[in-house]
Copies of this chain bind each other. A is one copy, B any other.
């Protein structure tokens, strides 16, 4: 994938505006932290790993407003910028992890000058960016061992290049398998309400030359029943210490259906998506989004305005429904609580 979802270019954050895909490939240039915050909020940039990188770059944008040479005040300013960015979206832990790294970097160098702290923060942000590129490729290689030639796989939402810097988590597995000349087909669930599967995943898989069939979310069970799915791969927004995994709404549904149809269900997520501070998925905050996402499509009404709507953006898949979690440290199998601890110790 030659395309980069998020980059730091001459003091600005350059992003693909994913709300316009697949119709238009257009970039947004964020010069200040508010513009980036809004881009995150309206999902111009999304996907847990990409949100981590966006948050780190966002902190760099936020530094511009600081005037003066007082290092202590500067470190406090960094913390304030981090807190502000943290209000954009609650579920993906990568966003908070990146902000913590940036804060820690500032605190660690609090005895340096403002100019020097700024340099360290840039270094930290670029390390987060580089790490994402490296980690996705490593996960891809591990994950590709789970796909055999001739198989069909299924995915939901977009855990691809567009959810990371440039390669993807679940879709990175597909790109790696393709690079190894394995032959396989992908079913992409469209992923209501915002159609990340239809709009983003099919777009990037077709660009990558991968045989892709789009289905509506409610067709996945039938495709499984027909024996057309050999494995399911999804990303994650936050994985708890016991393996419970929050991901795009609809993932839990697929995991239950996979269990019933005896199909392996894999999560592909880097270490940065694990939140070992929480014991189980019950502690993961689930973002609820506006009803307009469900009752409108591009300004066209699809349901009566006065109807009540429940619109959670994520759900939690219980660890017992997950066959294995692919990470850059290797493939983690049950029992997850113990094995996650062992792998990340």
Interface residues of A (CB under 8 A from B): 22-23, 156, 187, 189-193, 195, 198-199, 202-203, 206, 211-223, 225, 249-250, 252-253, 256-257, 259-260, 294-295, 297-298, 300-304, 306-312, 315
Contact = CB atoms under 8 A, between A and B. Distances in A.
Contact of A216 (B193, B214, B301): B193
Nearest to A202: B307
A315 B220 CA distance: 11
A179 to B, nearest CB: 22
Contacts of A218: 156, 189, 191-192, 217-218, 249-250, 253
A211 B199 CA distance: 33
Given A190-B294, A214-B310, 12 more contacts: A22-B301, A22-B303, A191-B218, A195-B302, A213-B307, A214-B309, A215-B309, A216-B250, A221-B253, A256-B256, A257-B257, A300-B300
Contact of A252 (B187, B199, B222, B309): B222
Contacts of A213: 307-310
A201 to B, nearest CB: 9
Contact of A206 (B192, B302, B306): B306
A221 B303 CA distance: 21
A191 B295 CA distance: 13
A83 to B, nearest CB: 30
A310 B190 CA distance: 11
A187 B294 CA distance: 14
A26 B225 CA distance: 39
A192 B193 contact: no
Contacts of A223: 310
A221 B191 CA distance: 14
Nearest to A222: B315
A58 to B, nearest CB: 29
A167 to B, nearest CB: 20
A191 to B, nearest CB: 7
Q: 8 closest A-B pairs (Cβ-Cβ)?
A: A218-B250, A221-B253, A192-B216, A217-B218, A198-B303, A213-B308, A202-B307, A222-B315
A1 to B, nearest CB: 16
A311 B222 CA distance: 11
A304 B216 contact: no
A110 B217 CA distance: 51
A204 B123 CA distance: 59
Contacts of A297: 297-298, 300
B303 A300 contact: no
Nearest to A22: B304
Contacts of A225: 252, 315
A294 B192 CA distance: 12
A345 to B, nearest CB: 32
Contacts of A190: 192, 294, 302-303
A247 B297 CA distance: 26
A23 B306 CA distance: 13
Contacts of A312: 219, 222
Contact of A219 (B249, B259, B260): B249
B216 A217 contact: yes
A222 B249 contact: yes
Contacts of A23: 301
